[in-house]
Amino acid sequence: MNKAYFKRVFFEEQALDYPVGKAMYDKLKVQGYDIGLLKSHNRVTGIPGKSARESFFQGKNTLVVGVRKTLDFAPCKPSAHFQLPLVTGCQGICEYCYLNTQLGKKPYTRVYVNIDEILAQAANYIQQRQPETTVFEAAATSDPVPVEPFSGALAQAINFFAHQEYAYLKFVTKFPSIDSLLDLDHRGRTRIRYSLNTDRIIHDYEHRTAVLDERIQALSRLLEHGYPGGVIIAPVILEGNWQEEYGHMMDKLAEALSAYRDIHFEVISHRFARKAKSNILDVFPQTTLPMNEDKSRSYKFGQFGYGKLVYNKALLQEIKSFFTDAIGRHFPEAKIDYII
Ligand code: SF4
């Protein structure tokens, strides 16, 4: 199981009215956590932090247990129809994480206890779209796996989707605490993807997450238990001898998983927005993430007016050829969803 890094836990008082909330409270208390109570929803006071860096790390060390009030699910295009909001935030500290610009200056993890209400709302969406199939993504604004041993929200969702003829669930993680999911009767309706990278990139940029071998091992156990699986290789960073390092990663993956056919691959090259770059530099002033705006990058305009610096066309083509070849060689029956 992955280590929990939370140094402080807050409960919204209302969360204790739900059996899941009460059970979490008791579990965390027994484990010795110091628990504060919050009177009002959405006002989390008591997280220290003067500088941007201190606020960030203190936020990352904080768990809030609350009630999800907004039951309008955000869209999740293009990979799913809706986000499934069970958790927001993540205890991991990936320097490039897209959440770093989304969750405010103190990015705490928030777990919701009104899981029945959230799933009832999912049922409404499914019904409205029937007979179309509706896909839900449970990791759009979080990595929900590290808190699963406390909340059991994913297990409940997997059980729910097992009985939905017109829907699928998926989520992605970098953490190995999936033991409680293995024996569920999932009926193949939840696809669990692991986000992978080279040992060096994990070590340099993905702090407080599981090492590569642990991620591969967890994915292999899920596949063994019949789950449809997936691999997201992201962000692909073209540093040093990248072909050799990603080649080594693919070899390890093939060694562990070549017996399985139903694996989807997604490959995403490193990109950054200028705003994200300045936030990253505030929190990680010594970062070695490659964010130079030099010839290796092109500016790509985004949907909402602000763009991103992506690798230039020639480098993107190299990434495409490399991964198409490596995946095709090791996993001839796997599906490549995209390489971007
Ligand atoms: Fe962000 Fe995922 Fe890293 Fe968590 S594990 S910090 S969600 S990139």
pLDDT tens per residue, range 73-84: 999 988 899 999
pLDDT for the residue 101: 77
CB 246 within 8 A of CB 326: yes
Best residue among 2, 83, 209 to mutate for probing ligand 1, ranked by most atoms within 8 Å of CB? 209
Using the mean position of ligand 1's atoms as its centre, give its distance from the Cα of residue 249 in Å: 19
Q: How far is the CA of 104 from the centre of ligand 1 (A)?
A: 15
Whether 94 lines ligand 1, by a CB cut-off of 6 Å, is yes
* Contact criterion met (CB below 8 Å) for 164 and 202: no
Residues 6+ apart with CB under 8 A from 79: 135, 137, 170, 266, 337
Q: Which of 90, 103, 141 to mutate to test the pocket of ligand 1 (most atoms within 8 A of CB)?
A: 90
Predicted TM-score (pTM) of this structure: 0.95
Percent with pLDDT over 70 in the chain: 98
Higher pLDDT, 193 or 260: 193
Q: How many CB atoms lie within 10 A of CB 295?
A: 8
Instruction: List strands edge to edge, sheet with 8-12.
Output: 35-38, 8-12, 62-66, 109-112, 87-88
Give residue 129 CA to ligand 1 midpoint distance, Å. Answer: 31
pLDDT at 40: 79
Contact 178, 224 (CB under 8 A): no
Give the model confidence (pLDDT) of 45-70 as tens digits. 889 999 989 999 999 999 999 999 99
What pLDDT is recorded for position 1? Answer: 44
CA 304/CA 295 separation, integer angstroms: 25
Q: In whole angstroms, what is the distance from residue 23 CA to residue 19 CA? A: 6
Residue range 137-179, pLDDT digits in tens: 999 999 999 999 999 999 999 999 999 999 999 999 999 999 9
**Nearest alpha carbon to residue 339 among 234, 194, 198, 200:** 234
The rounded distance, in Å, linking the Cα atoms of 168 and 230 is 14
Distance, CA of 59 to CA of 71 (rounded, Å): 25
pLDDT digits (tens, 9 = 90+) for 271-315: 999 888 999 999 999 999 999 999 999 999 876 667 899 999 999
Expressed in angstroms and rounded, the spacing between residue 142 Cα and the centre of ligand 1 is 7
**Cis amide bond preceding 78, omega within 30:** yes
Ligand 1 atom 5: residue of nearest CA: 92
| Ligand 1, atom 2, residue with closest C-alpha | 143
Q: Cα(302)–Cα(280) distance, rounded to whole angstroms?
A: 20
Average pLDDT over every residue of 203-229 = 97
209 CB within 6 A, ligand 1: yes
Neighbours of 258 (CB within 10 A): 13
Task: Please work out whether the CB of residue 99 comes within 6 Å of at least one atom of ligand 1.
Answer: yes
Average pLDDT over residues 28-34: 91
The enclosing H or E element of 157 equals helix 153-162
Q: Tell me the pairing of strands 62-66 and 8-12.
A: parallel
Question: Would you state the structure tokens that stand for residue 224, as one six-digit string?
Answer: 């063994």
**Alpha carbon nearest to ligand 1 atom 3, residue:** 94
Cβ(97) – ligand 1 distance below 6 Å: yes
